[in-house]
Chain A
Amino acid sequence: MSVLVYTENWKGSFRKSTFEAVSYAKETAKLLGMDVVALSIGDVSDDELNKLGNYGASKVLSASGIAKGDSQATSNLFAEHATNVKVIVFASTYTSKMIAPRLAAKLKAGILSNVVDIPFSTTPLTVSRKSFSGKAIEKAIVNTEKTIISLAPNAFGLIECGGDCNIEQISTSQTRSVTIEGEEIATGKISLAEAEIIVSAGRGLKGPENWGMVEELADLLGAATACSKPVSDIGWRPHGEHVGQTGKAVAPNLYVAIGISGAIQHLAGVNSSKVMVAVNSDAEAPFFKAADYGIVGDAFDVIPRLIDEIKKVKN
């Protein structure tokens, strides 16, 4: 028996979330006394595939000629390779969220999503997961032979073990059910899902023309930019930046909130951040109840000064 993990790539490269999923699979496999098998979809070089060994995969199945956006074909492929598998691990990515539930129904395997830690019991398999949009942590049990786990974003971390893996090319005979017409990706930007630091701003910034300092601060920190819901609703910022209960749930190491009041729906999506900083002109803003550090002041004064101070320490 083994633990199977989906190792997603983007144009041939893995990301941190991929290695995190392998690290998680390895820790779970240790509890069960099993090995980790990785399943990769699409063209990935052997050099890149070999990196998976460092996080604990002992075998990598590499399938090409199949589109990851085709959830029917991909879940069939997973099912073909799940016979001798006890647990299947997915990272928190959009593609994973298409494959995992289909696979669960196909295998009649219990699925636990938003998982934040390795199982604290294996019989029955029991994990902690986030529910109620970050307002609760739930202990949930799987009642089936096989388990599908999909992780919460940035909840586990990387564990290197310096191992090696065997690569096996596998062929696929899946029929295509969707046609991929192409993709539109914002280039040169750090994606919210991967970011260690997020600089986020709200309606307090008054208008889209004032985002220059937000982007400058983000660039300095190597951070992604985000915004509150009204800011994306009025079109000051793209929808993809909307974080919160009805936007993206994020969990960076540092979340900087500028001119965001801290409404319950906003906090629900960001309160898993390790450290939060609030900058707000209103000392009574609810964000100060959730933040670790804060400055009460006008963002138009505070942020340029903060940028200067960070430049000083970065030099």
Chain B
Amino acid sequence: MNIVVCISSVPDTTSKINFSENGTTFDSSGIQFIINPYDEFGLTKAMILKENSGGNVTVITVGDATVEPVMRKALAIGADQAVRINRNPKDSYSTATEIAKYLSENPADLIITGRESIDYNGGAVGGMIAEILNVPFVNACNGLEIEGTTAKLSREIDGGKENLSVSLPLVIGGQKGLVEESNLRIPNMRGIMQARTKPLQVIDPSNTDSLTTSEQFEKPAEKSVCKLVEAGNEAELVRLLQEEAKVI
């Protein structure tokens, strides 16, 4: 089975986010980049599927050379090869079209994306790839087993989950549940050594247009100072929530 895992390289979750050039551009100075947390679940799942039923795992990223350390990390976790489409991503659609073009030339049985990126939070690339390739898409996927050419999956729905079966090829938007947190793979020494010599192919982009543009960023307004109520005086907290905040 051919599995492609789409990896978005995002700021570490502890990062303080700042913008430069009058708030028009994300300021990446001093930022540590990581594999998008949702993509980590997908990558580990891909490794498990490969171990159980054989196959090949490719990780793909649309990005410039600065994303290569993140791709090497994915290789160290166990992907067989990496593909970098050499373009600075501009929006969800242009990113999805680049990946879909690669996939139409190099077909995969299972395409794993994350539910959303934790930076721009578009939540769109996976669904768009599926649409361009005209294959099914299941988002917020929190369970997946492959039986021959059929995938048995579950997806999160508000208040529970829905179980589905779909025939391959298929695109999923993955999240926790695909594998458990405690089973997430992290690179070990052997993996890191092997990753150095695994193929990382750089391909030229097709430079499709983007459909949306980010114009300006602002940080949310700072909260005012927290009003502290003495322990033992819970009645006062209830009064404040009723009369001042008017939320209960």
Contacts and interface: CB of A to CB of B under 8 A. Distances in A.
B131 A69 contact: no
Nearest to B180: A233
Given A71-B130, A140-B214, A180-B162, A135 B17 contact: yes
A191 interface: yes
Interface string A278-309: 10000000001111111111100110011011
B186 interface: no
Interface stretch (A36-44, A98-106, A154-162, A206-214): A98-106
B93 A110 contact: yes
Interface in B25-72: 26, 37-38
A253 interface: yes
Interface size class of B (residues with CB under 8 A): 35 or more
A181 B165 contact: yes
B212 A295 contact: no
Given A135-B219, A233-B182, A293-B240, A246 B118 contact: yes
Contacts of B230: 295
Contacts of A301: 231
Interface in A40-76: 69-72, 75
B58 to A, nearest CB: 22
B228 interface: yes
Given A111-B211, A178-B165, A189-B159, 19 more contacts: A71-B130, A75-B131, A102-B137, A104-B124, A131-B120, A131-B217, A136-B218, A141-B212, A143-B212, A183-B157, A183-B162, A242-B176, A264-B13, A265-B14, A275-B247, A288-B228, A290-B223, A293-B245, A305-B234
Contacts, number: 282
Given A71-B139, A137-B217, A101 B124 contact: yes
A122 to B, nearest CB: 15
Interface string A180-207: 1111111001010110010000000000
A257 to B, nearest CB: 12
Interface string A239-252: 11010011100000
